[in-house]
Amino acid sequence: MKRVIVMMLAALTTFGTGLQASDKYGSGKHFADSLKGNGSGVLNNFKPGEVIPGYTENPPESAHYGGVTSSSSASLESAGASALNNSEVGKLTSEVIMNRPKDPISMDAPFISGGFDVQDKADIVTNGTYDNCETVNVSKTEITSHVCERTPAAELTCTRKAGIKDNVVRKTVRKTYQKVVTLDYSTTNWKWNGALSIPEKGRLLHVAVDGERLIIPWNSNCNRESISEKCKASVRETISLMGRDFPVDVVVYPRRDTICTGGQNSHCTYPVRDGWGRIHQAFDTDMQVSAGQSFPVMKTSKTFEFLKNMASVQVTITLTLDVEVTEHKPSVEWVETCPFNKAEEVLQGSQCTEAGGNRTINIDGKTYTVYSDCWAWKDTYLKQEADNGSCDVYMKNPACTASRVNCQEKSGSACLQEEVTFSCEKKVTGEAQLCSGQLVCANGECDAIENGTSDGFGKAVSALAAVTAAAQDVAAMNDVNVRAFTGKPVECRMAIAGFNNCCKDSGWGQGIGLAHCDSEEKALGKAKEKLLTVYVGTYCSKKALGVCLQKKKAYCQFDSKLAQIVQAQGRKGQLGIGFGSGKHPDCRGITVEELQSLRFDRMDFSNFYSDLNAGTTIPSDSELAERVKEQVASALQQSAGKGQ
């Protein structure tokens, strides 16, 4: 008994659990069914403008998208180049790239080699005190600044990219259409009814209605084989179209025939015959119609009897329309990207970068083929190699680093001439005695190092020479126009197609490929190698039809390095007075008032040292100190000999 009860309880529990599961399944299925189709509905009804902040369906950038069949991205490339050359961000980026000097690391640089020296002699510092004196080398690094000119590697190119442009031509064309309209008889209005559908949008100018064997239904007034006037009067057929009624010309009138099979008036029948007619009517109109526009066409009979199962009739309607049609005439469209004024540059050559051939474009489902000999060109207007110029000595010195680059001549984003400031380290050494931790300067060498007066004699003589040269220039002039260090303008021709560059800063000793350069240009090249020139600018010296055929560089050339140093560092560097333009150089001398404002102690005369050394031997500061000591000792001996 208990076993039976347990089994019944188990069955009930299972049944209840099944009911609960069934209810949950039903709820889940109902929920799933309610979601059917909602996913696609959410996408179809999604409105981005209501969800995404600042959303726009037609951003300006969409103008650069030519579709999946577009043959090029010339518009986007042109916009990018324009932004790089004209926007503030683009200009800043180009300037940073141009003016960021390279900083080569050399193990021979004083600040690195000095560190290794300290490392190698670390025991002197760490071994403690030492009572005796020993000779040690002392050193100091001097930082000097030098300004020079150089020609950077540069290439000025324009690009021309071809794309396919859809040239849409709209014109009015006169077209003629013939439409066959079937007219079906209807007992609703007792007429033959049809409809004319306009085939194309346009201006409707002329309509012609033509039809043959149009039914003329029989009526009782035409009850004989012969046609009576009464019968004729009862017949009138019209075709109605566009508010106009046109008569149908009767060809055969309706009648009743007599057919006897058993002789005359014997076994006779009298069938009725419908007549038929034709229509050839036309009219002019002037109305705008749309494609698919419908006009009712009806045939009406004046008299009708027993009109049942009447056959359909057809009329041909001829329409004359003026239709505006659109023709697509794709053609090659060129987009040029030129980040400089090409009218001021000389074209050196052109290179096809995308081979020619056929390309296609799909317009409104129709494919058009367009041919071009070349689809992209690269036009080179200038391609100059790097020339270190007066910067060569500093660029080759591992102790010198370019600290500032000033572009003197630009064309677009390319720099054609640079003025570079180099910061150079010079390690000055001398001997001293290290006694019980104290540095004793026995011969005066370390005093010069400590006071920072290395090469002071050379600097003093150079400054004195500059002042003396200025005085000589001034003394040779009258009181009206007193100037010192006057230069002269000189110029040279830049490279063009087929000719080498007559404005090279170096290499004039070999003269390779420079045979076409004139004597003035060769003299200028040697003057630049001797550091006697200041770069002024570039200009187009020959034009034809707005195209530059020859460019020249202009310089101010001076008689001596001293004059060049004072003009470049004094007039331009300190006073901020320029040298004019490439087309109009200003190589005037420096006035007395301007000379009085110059700080000769701040000028770098290192370029003049070679000329100074060529005339005499310049003693170093240590040699000067030694001479002074010898002179003092000699004076003391003489005094002792005299008993003083």
Per residue in 93-120, pLDDT (tens digit) is 666 565 555 556 666 666 566 666 666 6
Q: Are strands 331-337 and 154-165 parallel, antiparallel or unpaired?
A: antiparallel
Residue 587 lies in a domain: no
Judge whether residue 3 has pLDDT over 70. no
For residue 360, what pLDDT is reported? 92
Residue 223 lies in a domain: yes
Per-residue pLDDT of 522-578, as tens digits, reads 899 889 888 899 999 999 988 888 888 888 999 999 988 888 888 988 998 899 999
160/138 Cα distance (integer angstroms): 64
For residue 354, what pLDDT is reported? 93
More confident residue, 413 or 325: 325
DSSP for 319-374, written as a single string? EEEEEEEEEE--EEEEEEE-SS-GGGSB--EEEEEEEEEEEEEEETTEEEEEEEEE
Residue 163 lies in a domain: no
Q: How confident is the model at residue 5 (pLDDT cuts 50, 70, 90)?
A: very low
Which residues face 409 on adjacent strands?
417
Strands (E), 513-582: 533-544, 547-557
Residue 430 lies in a domain: no
Residue 96 lies in a domain: no
Per-residue pLDDT of 189-224, as tens digits, reads 889 999 999 999 999 999 999 999 999 988 889 888
For residue 54, what pLDDT is reported? 73
Compute CA distances 86 → 90, 160, 334, 416, 493, whole Å.
Answer: 7, 19, 21, 19, 30
For residue 506, what pLDDT is reported? 72
Q: Which range has the worst mean pLDDT, 55-64, 452-461, 517-526?
A: 452-461
Per-residue pLDDT of 245-275, as tens digits, reads 999 999 999 988 878 876 666 678 878 888 9
Per-residue pLDDT of 345-374, as tens digits, reads 888 889 999 999 999 999 888 899 999 999
Residue 265 lies in a domain: yes
Residue 92 lies in a domain: no
Judge whether residue 476 has pLDDT over 60. no
Share of the chain above pLDDT 70, in %: 65
Contact 403, 101 (CB under 8 A): yes
User: If residue 592 lies in a helix (H) or strand (E), which one and from where to where?
Assistant: helix 592-597
Q: How confident is the model at residue 1 (pLDDT cuts 50, 70, 90)?
A: very low
Beta-carbon contacts of 201 under 8 Å, excluding residues fewer than 6 positions away, are: 289, 290, 291, 323, 324
For residue 133, what pLDDT is reported? 73
Q: How confident is the model at residue 7 (pLDDT cuts 50, 70, 90)?
A: very low
Judge whether residue 287 has pLDDT over 70. yes
| Vertex 426 angle, CA 568 and 443, to 5° | 120
Q: How confident is the model at residue 11 (pLDDT cuts 50, 70, 90)?
A: very low
For residue 6, what pLDDT is reported? 45
Q: Report which of 451, 550, 457 is spatially closest to residue 499, judged by C-alpha positions.
A: 550
Residue 246 lies in a domain: yes
Per-residue pLDDT of 142-152, as tens digits, reads 788 888 889 88
Q: Report which of 171, 172, 179 is spatially closest to residue 319, judged by C-alpha positions.
A: 179
Judge whether residue 477 has pLDDT over 70. no
The mean pLDDT of 433-459, rounded to a whole number, is 57
DSSP for 187-234, written as a single string? TTTTEEEEEEEP-S-EEEEEEEEEEEEEEE---TT--SSSPPHHHHHH
Q: How confident is the model at residue 154 (pLDDT cuts 50, 70, 90)?
A: confident
Judge whether residue 623 has pLDDT over 80. no
Share of the chain above pLDDT 90, in %: 26
Residue span of the structural domain in which 239 resides: 170-327
225/325 Cα distance (integer angstroms): 57
More confident residue, 427 or 440: 427
DSSP letter at 64 equals: G
Judge whether residue 134 has pLDDT over 50. yes
For residue 630, what pLDDT is reported? 60
Q: How confident is the model at residue 413 (pLDDT cuts 50, 70, 90)?
A: confident
Judge whether residue 47 has pLDDT over 70. yes
User: If residue 407 lies in a helix (H) or strand (E), which one and from where to where?
Assistant: strand 400-411
Q: How many domains does the chain have?
A: 1
For residue 369, what pLDDT is reported? 93
Mean pLDDT score of the chain = 78
Tell me whether residue 163 is exposed, middle or buried, using C-beta atoms within 10 angstroms of its C-beta: 0 to 12, 13 to 18, 19 or more.
buried
